[in-house]
Chain A
């Protein structure tokens, strides 16, 4: 009888919960799905081509921080990743790839509101680059549709 009550209670809790329950395996799976969705530029060129490549000296600092941020991202150290991205933002306040990364980060953390806002910020910054703009728009649509 006691076990039955416990099962009913857990079922009730699960039903009331706003976030669907995810097992550790499921979380891992969703992480890898997001990582798989990251566009090529994210991995290969740190996304710097979005803002015209390494033509400014401070781009070295920016690249270094983004590289470290990517590493933390891959390790699922999201807080460390976000801190590094914020440092990058202070150095290059209008670097779209920083905001794109922040968007992915928030998305992965299930914070779709912030993910969408970061993507919008990136979109406002890449508007003259058609290819990059298309990438960010795809990201924005995916976030809005909540599709990993």
Chain B
């Protein structure tokens, strides 16, 4: 019996030894694996840093039309604080006519601007005096607004800091609250675990964790948030490995940058560096003791103790932390008493509490795609400098949502049934200044400005008239026939366009046919000049899509998105000089090294003379045609030009309009492509007008060339007239393309000099 027991014991012992051996081997392999994982993360790049995207820096100069309210708005948005007298960078003062801005140090893609006091005097809605540190100057730039980031998949954002930048009070408080034995343990704290167990037993549940800072870091870096024993064991092993390899300071610095401290929309705020900017609008080194207590308090529960969303919870938690600080001798009795009563003082609006511009960011991302991999954009901390103008963007967003609401109410359409998109660009520079892709401008989703391909309707007409004006047979008063027209197509189909008013208007001069947007006359003209020529004009203007040479294209029965339409109209607005629309000026590395620049480029794709005539007609569209609503809204001296567009069955409402410096294309419609009781005039045009109503615009002066002559003509008779003749109007013509007939009235008015009418006209 004894022998049997002894033999069984030996067998068990032998198996136990073997199993232990296997266990040790497995543990060793596991440790090696975890070690490799730890080292890979710590020795490689620890974080993916999202690219930061900036708006244009506001360029200030005497003569700049800028309402002070817009400047104040921008300063507030970039986190400047209004004070009676400026003393430090990041402050401004304004007394109604004079403004002082203590500019912060700024890095831009083309250099840097030192911190300086910028003083401005305003008069008549413009800057009329500018000083930099007391000296009069011609120019000064402000720092650009941070408008968003290109985030990795979890939308993590952070601003990296060095341990030395963090106030020592923050480090001491963090250690006191989260891990008192931090400098004594080796990754896990047996004392901490025992204390947590005791509390949990006393409270009858899991209320306190015994995790050290190292364990918390490991959990955030490598593991999930699930509460299982396996996960806890792995966490403990990895924490020991981290402590074996790295110094306490290195681990603490990593923790400071890694910890999750709340959410701002889709963006996850990580690290104390970004959190201090986000919640208090200041650099971490300038945090006060109560602010430190608030942030350290958040570590326990970033959502529950979020000072912006749950200020009461956050204040109570801050006071708990202040008491810990007091117990540790970090603050005095008096300080505790004063600070416990203090408000949280979080900033509601800071550079880091930013408004994002999803539609514009989408464009930036697409334009960068040819030069940068997605991983570069989401991980290298690149700085992308764009042309977005926050003042114009805000105006466009507000105009879109306000006008769509008014249109829905006015035309008894269901609420939120309309959608809209807008693209605004500089006419000459081709720089995109604003993009609206949805009536809710904060929506990250379908970007109608770039992706809504819709029938462009009458926005196609300028290309038809331009095709005619490029040919020697046509001028502004060439008579066009606006009688009904039928075109037979393949499969016995018949295309029979009608005018909007269902009337025919007989013979009309070319310029009126366009300014009144007559469909029948345009259809006839398109067929006369040749569909292939019209298609070529679309391409010369910058159209990129495939446009089939069907008769209906002359009335815009093909689809384009607002961005591509804006490209076509940019060529018209810039007198035939096409500049690719671009949203980016330059890209630098995190430390300011220029990586790529996107400079001005131009190509003359249409001769200046026919474009000059087209611009003149488009000014008439605003003066007396389908866009005359603008007359009641804008100073006539701006000479605005534009074209309304309404697609078949009123499914799309368009307006493309421009001044001397700004071009904007607006689309209004329904996502389900249903009809609306709206035309280009009653829909998109109103949004355009609302957008620019309060913004400075430069007048449009079409550029005549030496080949352009101004001539008095009789439009009805398609003949040369003179100022003194009845019904004469003065219109521009390309040399050699004047009407062939001259009225008798001209001969009566002009003494016979024996010269030909041609010589008389030009002398």
Given contacts A117-B602, A124-B575, A127-B705, contact A60 B110 (CB under 8 A): no
Provide the bound-state CA to CA distance between A124 and B705, in Å.
7
Q: Which of B90-98, B254-262, B425-433 contacts A (4 or more CB under 8 A)?
A: B425-433
B27 at the interface (CB under 8 A from A): no
Please classify how large the interface on chain B is, using the bins under 10, 10 to 19, 20 to 34, 35 or more: 20 to 34
A38 at the interface (CB under 8 A from B): no
B23 at the interface (CB under 8 A from A): no
Provide the bound-state CA to CA distance between A120 and B574, in Å.
12
B residues 129-154 near A (Cβ < 8 Å) are 137-139
B599 at the interface (CB under 8 A from A): yes
Provide the bound-state CA to CA distance between A118 and B577, in Å.
10
B509 at the interface (CB under 8 A from A): no
Q: How far is the CB of B586 from chain A (nearest CB, A)?
A: 8
A87 (CB) vs chain B CBs: closest residue: B59
A89 (CB) vs chain B CBs: closest residue: B429
Say yes or no: A124 contacts B429, CB within 8 Å: no
Say yes or no: A86 contacts B429, CB within 8 Å: yes
B487 at the interface (CB under 8 A from A): no
Provide the bound-state CA to CA distance between A79 and B431, in Å.
19
Provide the bound-state CA to CA distance between A147 and B692, in Å.
46
Q: How far is the CB of B426 from chain A (nearest CB, A)?
A: 7
B550 at the interface (CB under 8 A from A): no
Q: What chain A residues lie within 8 Å of B575 (beta carbons)?
A: 124
Binary flags per residue of A52-92, CB closer than 8 Å to B gives 1, else 0? 00001111110111000000000000011011001101110
Q: Which of A87, A94, A121 contacts B660 (CB 8 A)?
A: A94
Given contacts A114-B601, A124-B577, contact A93 B138 (CB under 8 A): no
Q: What chain A residues lie within 8 Å of B603 (beta carbons)?
A: 117
B484 at the interface (CB under 8 A from A): no
Q: What chain B residues lie within 8 Å of A128 (beta carbons)?
A: 704
Provide the bound-state CA to CA distance between A61 and B139, in Å.
6
B9 at the interface (CB under 8 A from A): no
Say yes or no: A60 contacts B61, CB within 8 Å: yes
Provide the bound-state CA to CA distance between A64 and B706, in Å.
32
A35 at the interface (CB under 8 A from B): no
Q: What chain B residues lie within 8 Å of A132 (beta carbons)?
A: none
Q: Which of A83, A91, A102, A121 contacts B61 (CB 8 A)?
A: A91
Provide the bound-state CA to CA distance between A60 and B698, in Å.
18
Provide the bound-state CA to CA distance between A57 and B63, in Å.
5
Say yes or no: A64 contacts B426, CB within 8 Å: no
Q: Is the interface of B mostly helix, strand, loop or mixed?
A: loop
Q: What chain B residues lie within 8 Å of A86 (beta carbons)?
A: 429, 599-600
Q: What chain B residues lie within 8 Å of A91 (beta carbons)?
A: 59, 61
Say yes or no: B429 contacts A58, CB within 8 Å: no
B74 at the interface (CB under 8 A from A): no
Binary flags per residue of B412-439, CB closer than 8 Å to A gives 1, else 0? 0000000000000011110100000000
Binary flags per residue of A91-110, CB closer than 8 Å to B gives 1, else 0? 10110000000100000000
Say yes or no: A60 contacts B608, CB within 8 Å: no
Q: How far is the CB of A2 from chain B (nearest CB, A)?
A: 40
Q: Which of A59, A93, A125 contacts B429 (CB 8 A)?
A: A93
Say yes or no: B59 contacts A90, CB within 8 Å: yes
Say yes or no: B600 contacts A89, CB within 8 Å: yes
Binary flags per residue of B584-619, CB closer than 8 Å to A gives 1, else 0? 000000000000010111111000100000000000
B64 at the interface (CB under 8 A from A): yes
Provide the bound-state CA to CA distance between A16 and B110, in Å.
36
Can you list 20 A-B pairs, Cβ within 8 angstroms, ordered by A? A56-B63, A58-B62, A58-B64, A60-B62, A60-B138, A61-B64, A63-B138, A80-B110, A89-B429, A90-B59, A90-B426, A90-B429, A93-B426, A93-B429, A94-B428, A117-B603, A121-B577, A127-B705, A127-B706, A133-B706
Residues of B within 8 A of A (CB): 59, 61-64, 110, 128, 137-139, 426-429, 431, 575-577, 597, 599-604, 608, 660-661, 698, 703-706
Give 3 nearest A-B pairs by CB, closest first: A57-B63, A61-B61, A58-B63
Beyond the given pairs A58-B63, A121-B604, 10 more chain A to chain B contacts, judged by CB atoms under 8 angstroms and listed by A's residue number, are: A58-B61, A61-B59, A61-B64, A61-B139, A64-B137, A65-B139, A90-B59, A90-B431, A120-B577, A124-B608
